[in-house]
Amino acid sequence: KMAKRKKSDEDYRSFQLEWTDIYAFVEKSGFPLCLICSERLASNKKSNLQRHLMTKHAAFAAKYLEGEARKKACEELQRKMKVGQSKLLAWSNKGGSLNSATFAGAFEIIREGKPFTDGEYVKRCMLNIGKELFEEFPNKDKILQQIQDMPLSAKTVHDRAVKMADQVDKQQIENMSSATYFLFALDKSTDICDVAQLCILGRYICGNLVREEMLAILPMKKQTRGEDILKTMMDFVSKKQIQLVCTDGAPSMMSKHKGFIALLSEQQKRPILSFHCIVHQEALCAQSCGVELSDAMALVVRIVNWILARALNHCQFQSLLEEVDYEYPGLLMHNNVRWLSHGKVLARFAACSKEIKTFLEMKGVTHPELSNCDWL
């Protein structure tokens, strides 16, 4: 007899609003924050919140029993927290140009994908450059002092990143809430750590523009059944009307009885208009292009794999590209699972065809097709 599967939530959990009145926690930047001691927990797990309350704030739990008394106490704690946050915001806004400069610096660090600790490095560069650049300026000392006073520590850059992300989230929600029509597109894939990731894209009308933005990438570390995808999706977009869904066509998405679409229709108690794999026209076209394209693709894959699969060949080919100051660092490995890689591999191969031919001749490998203009 098979053991009964234990039901459990996904590692990606959403904060439940009722936890505020029960455990004295609120959600901040996706994590639970204690209203009593301002400690932030690592995950939205009910047992962790309960343990924190009973071990660190047992006196509070005993004084305000669960119910109306605790609810009023938590509301008072929330009010005090909001007052403190408003005072802090007012203080930070007094910074004026310094505050704006901090946001500008943090934005550039984030956009370039640099670590938050680079803020101090950027500040040192600005100070050293400023000493030389503003040497002839009468207010040189004032300019340098402004740079010195500008906060760009790792914690400051992190805080600015969170604020900017919160603002983007808030703006997206406002735009989607005010839109007459909007839709979600879902796709599930696996990252290099073998963790399933559910990507949620949103398209909506904002004024006279149609916007399409990525709303979230949610990890699904356990199972990826239709009901698991549904729960993850509904946790993220609870209380929103869904008009249209486009999925990647996997069984967990499109299965007639247990797929995401079927379960979503059952929950909404109405049919859901859905499209199946509308982005795969190129894949269907490639399958019907005949033997010539298949043979060409096979040769390209064979040559690319011969270069990339051997470390020595790969390093020598990269050195050749560097010598000729080529814009690309190397070739792309073909992935037979993802049809989109076909076009990228072919495009990079065509761009590097002369260098590939030269490298193969250096290695004593000949492919007559590379000298055939018709084949190229």
Output phi, psi for 352, to 5 deg.
-105, 15
> Looking at the whole model, is its pTM more than 0.85?
no
- High-pLDDT (> 70) share of the chain, %: 76
Band (246; pLDDT cuts 50, 70, 90): low
Range name among 234-238, 286-290, 329-333 with the lowest pLDDT average = 286-290
Q: How many CA atoms lie within 13 A of 12 on its CB side?
A: 22
- Express each pLDDT in 256-279 by its tens digit: 677 777 777 777 676 766 666 554
- Express each pLDDT in 66-104 by its tens digit: 888 898 888 988 888 887 766 656 655 555 678 888 888
Q: How far apart are CA 43 and CA 104, in angstroms?
A: 30
The DSSP line for 134-191 is TTT-TTHHHHHHHHHHS---HHHHHHHHHHHHHHHHHHHHHHHHH-S-EEEEEEEEE-
Report the CATH architecture of 179-276: 2-Layer Sandwich (3.30)
Q: Where are the alpha helices (DSSP H) in the chain?
A: 18-23, 46-56, 58-63, 68-93, 97-111, 118-133, 140-149, 154-178, 226-236, 251-254, 260-268, 281-287, 291-308, 311-323, 340-351, 353-362
pLDDT above 80 for 192 = no
Selected residue with higher pLDDT from 282 and 214: 214
pLDDT score, position 67: 87
Q: Are strands 244-247 and 182-190 parallel, antiparallel or unpaired?
A: parallel
In a 10 Å sphere around its CB, with 0-12 CB exposed, 13-18 middle and 19+ buried, how is residue 103 labelled?
middle
pLDDT above 70 for 202 = yes
pLDDT above 60 for 298 = yes
The DSSP line for 178-232 is H-S-EEEEEEEEE-TTS-EEEEEEEEEEETTEEEEEEEEEEEE-S---HHHHHHH
pLDDT score, position 337: 44
pLDDT above 70 for 329 = no
The tokens of 245 are what? 């869904």
pLDDT score, position 2: 43
Could you count the other beta carbons within 10 Å of the beta carbon of residue 57? 18
**To the nearest whole number, what is the mean pLDDT of the chain?**
77
- Express each pLDDT in 124-153 by its tens digit: 999 999 999 888 888 888 889 888 888 888
Q: How many CA atoms lie within 13 A of 342 on its CB side?
A: 17
Q: Best-predicted range by mean pLDDT among 69-78, 211-220, 358-367?
A: 69-78
Which residue reads 């100070």 in tokens?
127
Do residues 60 and 49 lie in contact, with contact meaning Cβ atoms separated by under 8 Å? Answer: no
pLDDT above 70 for 291 = no
Selected residue with higher pLDDT from 223 and 248: 223
pLDDT score, position 339: 47
pLDDT score, position 224: 76
Closest-CA residue to 21 (of 35, 7, 10, 42): 35
The tokens of 317 are what? 């080919």
pLDDT score, position 27: 86
Average pLDDT score over residue span 322-347: 63
Exposure string for 295-319, b = 16+ CB within 10 A, e = fewer: ebbeebbebbeebbeeeebeeebbe
Band (156; pLDDT cuts 50, 70, 90): confident
pLDDT score, position 11: 43
Selected residue with higher pLDDT from 285 and 346: 346
pLDDT score, position 8: 47
pLDDT score, position 372: 75
Do residues 302 and 356 lie in contact, with contact meaning Cβ atoms separated by under 8 Å? Answer: no
